[in-house]
Amino acid sequence: MRAQHASGLPIAPSTLKNLGLAYVRLVRMQARLPEGARWPEPPGAEVAARAHDEDAFRIAAAHRVLGVWGEFLSTSEAERDPGRASIAQIVAVLRAVTQRVTAAAVGEGRADAARGR
């Protein structure tokens, strides 16, 4: 099933692609936010928001990248997109990294943090 906007209209594949790019920027950002600044809240980042945990935000954003780009890659439009191969490669790498981080966090009793919750 394709992602839908709250209005019930389907979300365009190009929007999914661009949303993934935005979340990748959150994951890769090296800078720290100024004191008192708020992160945008990817779905699943509520606990990180309350704790002001930037690493948990990045993890939540990484999971969001996997979701939106996974959906993008499943569309017929993605087959014709010149960036498809690069996005697929990033998804594969990010999936492997998030699985390792999740496994390590579970081992340390921090499963919710590893899942961005």
Domain boundaries, the chain: 13-32+42-114
pTM to 2 decimal places: 0.66
CA separation (Å) from 34 to 38, 41, 54? 9, 16, 11
How many whole angstroms separate alpha carbon 83 and alpha carbon 97? 21
**Ordered per-residue pLDDT tens for the chain, 117 residues:** 556 666 677 788 888 888 888 878 777 777 666 676 665 555 555 655 566 667 777 777 788 888 889 999 999 999 999 999 999 999 999 888 888 877 776 676 655 544 444
